[in-house]
Homo-oligomer: A and B are copies of this chain.
Amino acid sequence: MKILLSNDDSVFAKGIAVMHGALQASHDVTVIAPDRNCSGASNALSLHQPLRIQQMDSGFYAVNGTPSDCVHLGLNCFLEEDPELVVSGINHGANLGDDVIYSGTVAAATEGRYMGLPAIAVSLCSHEGKHFETAARVVTDIITKLQSHPLAANQILNVNVPDIPYSELAGVKITRQGRRHRAEGMVKAKDPFGREIYWYGPAGAEQDAGPGTDFHAVANGFCSVTPLSVDMTARDSIEDMEKWLAM
């Protein structure tokens, strides 16, 4: 299968190298990824500056842009033949709950979906990153299953894998997004010139991590697979709103 592989940790990250190694055994894989760490880039597009693409010694292509830029450029302009699947990751760290909306890893997959392709985002749930090969194998398993169960046209899979050996995985759970509590975490500080600065800190603790959530699955040793819709319409509110807001 022709696969476009991207991520948000950059073309130099270990996670994308391990994913590439696992995929290339059976697939024709092109890597296009950011030239710098773009964690937190969400679906940002570089609309105001032009993009440049450069092949590195590894054979991977580096773009001076975001994960969405990499996938858009690859599918729209750069690749001569269309891939059949977009894989994004393996991310260094979890993308659980509301991480999803900020994640560049998930965004690269979303961009693939917008461009008409099935797409998988995959993250390893630790920053130490000991068992990337577990996540890589989970993805190759899923790709095999997708042959006979194609994804819906407006959906992607968000896969989060515990950082343990594959043999120790408790299984795979289909989950919904939980929620983090984000009310803390920004740090006010001063730079060495005495000027006030503000830093994001680590994401907050789980607020909704009960059974059925992605948080719960991973905490219990399962691989979490959340189907995400790239259409954000809250359809179940439309009828009610028509009563009080339409004119």
Contact = CB atoms under 8 A, between A and B. Distances in A.
B238 A171 contact: no
Interface string A18-60: 0000000000000000011101111111111111111011100
B191 A242 contact: no
Interface in A145-197: 145, 148-149, 152, 154-155, 171-177, 182-189, 191-193, 195-197
A100 B227 contact: no
A116 interface: yes
B188 A199 contact: no
- Copies of this chain present: 4
A181 to B, nearest CB: 10
Interface string A111-132: 0001110000000000000000
Residue among A36, A37, A48, A185 facing the most chain B CB atoms (10 A cut-off):
A48
Residue among A177, A185, A191 facing the most chain B CB atoms (10 A cut-off):
A191
A91 to B, nearest CB: 13
B36 A176 contact: no
B193 A201 contact: yes
B44 A41 contact: yes
A36 B37 contact: no
B39 A42 contact: no
A191 B53 CA distance: 13
Query: Main SS of the interface on chain A?
Result: loop
A138 to B, nearest CB: 10
B200 A142 contact: no
A100 B232 contact: yes
Contact of A176 (B39, B185, B238, B245): B238
Nearest to A233: B176
Given A37-B48, A77-B186, 8 more contacts: A12-B54, A51-B199, A72-B200, A78-B198, A176-B238, A191-B199, A228-B232, A228-B233
23 contacts: A12-B54, A42-B45, A43-B101, A47-B200, A50-B189, A50-B198, A51-B197, A52-B197, A57-B57, A72-B182, A72-B200, A77-B188, A101-B232, A115-B182, A115-B183, A116-B183, A149-B245, A176-B235, A187-B192, A192-B200, A227-B237, A227-B238, A227-B241
